[in-house]
Amino acid sequence: MSTPAPRPSPIPVNIITGQLGAGKTTAIAQMLAAKPPQEHWIIILNEFTDTGIDTLTLAAAAQGAYDLRTIPGGCLCCTGEEDFRRQLTALLAQPPEHWPARIVIEPSGIAHPGVVIEELRGFQRSGVVQLLSTIALVNAESWADSQSFSSLVVEQVDAADVVLLSKAELVQSQVHESFMAWAQTLFPAKRYAGVCEQGVLPAQALYPPPAEHEFEIRLRPAVHAEVHSGSQPHAHAPDEVICYLTWLEQPVQAKVLHLLGRQACGWMIPASLLFDVSQLELMLADDALWHGVERFKAIVRTGVDRWHLLQRWGQQYSIAPSTWRQDSRIELQLAEGVTTEWRGWHTRWQQMCELCPVS
């Protein structure tokens, strides 16, 4: 009886997104210049035209084996979507011994990265690729001039799990500090935030830790920082309790946090579970349910290719589409001195879930 061939390891994939002029091509050129010469990489560039100028830039920097593929049309999520899917399908249809050691994808500066991530999730489900990180580059010069980003830049940052201040060498350290303070307020919390100088991406941005990173719950970020720094007279580290739950046979992680007389809980929920958006809207509108709740934020998957951001503060609430595509996350913070039985909230979220037909 013959032994079945071992399953090939999935191909690691990085997405480098960001606004026009953020330095995406420069960053990929630095990656190619530093890669092991014996590794064969494939770079997929989404350019607005078919002139191929960026491919010339990358070719001049590449070290060892590489393959540059271009998808013209300006946006992988619409005009180039079919070409992108066709190229990936053809690439992965080859025998595993011909697979590349890495794939790096650069959507154009006007592309919506959420759709690209969703496409890759389909290939990831079949075990042929592994999306390591989606990196959003934010141009330091734009950040220095104005912190009011276009809706497209907001989408790019929202979809990423890593955010970097690019061209950071062109601005003063105060801009770095301002950027990092802003990055710490993002929801869901980014896996890594930092700076990129001369196009060199930090290793922590490209390579996630072996185990899935812990998510954070933030109680009033400025005060939370003071507690950890010990600047408050009665400062102490927060008490944290991590719970592991099972909903529809899917593992769910919940973290309960106690700090400064407050309680909070965060839930990390696999993307294989869908939330009922109509139930969520009814829940947000029920004032009685939110008595004693100081803050509520959630990004949840509500359809095969739909995600929503939900927020409630005081008597106001909002629900809007989101480009986040990693997992569903919920954070709920109680007012000072208020306590609750978290099991009831666990049950409430679970009752809104169903297994996604295509996870």
Comparing CA positions, the residue from 305, 303, 300, 251 lying closest to residue 117 is 305
- Residue 204 has φ and ψ, to the nearest 5°, of -65, -25
Is the pTM value of this prediction over 0.85?
A: no
pLDDT at 109: 72
How far is Cα of residue 129 from the mean position of the Cα atoms in its chain?
17
Domains with residue ranges and CATH for the chain: 11-206 (3.40.50.300), 221-355 (3.30.1220)
pLDDT at 347: 94
Gap between the Cα atoms of 161 and 167, Å rounded: 19
How far is Cα of residue 276 from the mean position of the Cα atoms in its chain?
22
Q: What is the pLDDT of residues 293-333, one digit of tens each?
A: 999 999 999 998 899 999 998 889 999 999 898 899 999 99
Per residue of the chain (359 residues), what is the pLDDT tens digit?
455 556 688 999 999 999 888 999 899 989 988 899 899 999 888 765 444 556 666 766 666 777 888 876 555 555 556 777 888 888 888 888 889 999 999 887 777 788 788 888 888 888 899 999 999 999 998 876 556 678 888 889 999 999 999 999 999 999 999 999 999 889 888 999 999 999 999 999 998 766 555 566 666 444 444 444 444 444 445 678 888 999 999 999 999 988 878 899 999 999 999 999 999 999 999 999 999 999 999 999 999 889 999 999 888 999 999 989 889 999 999 998 999 999 999 999 999 999 988 65
Gap between the Cα atoms of 326 and 146, Å rounded: 28
- The count of other CB atoms within 10 Å of the CB of residue 8 is 12
pLDDT at 5: 58
Contact 116, 79 (CB under 8 A): no
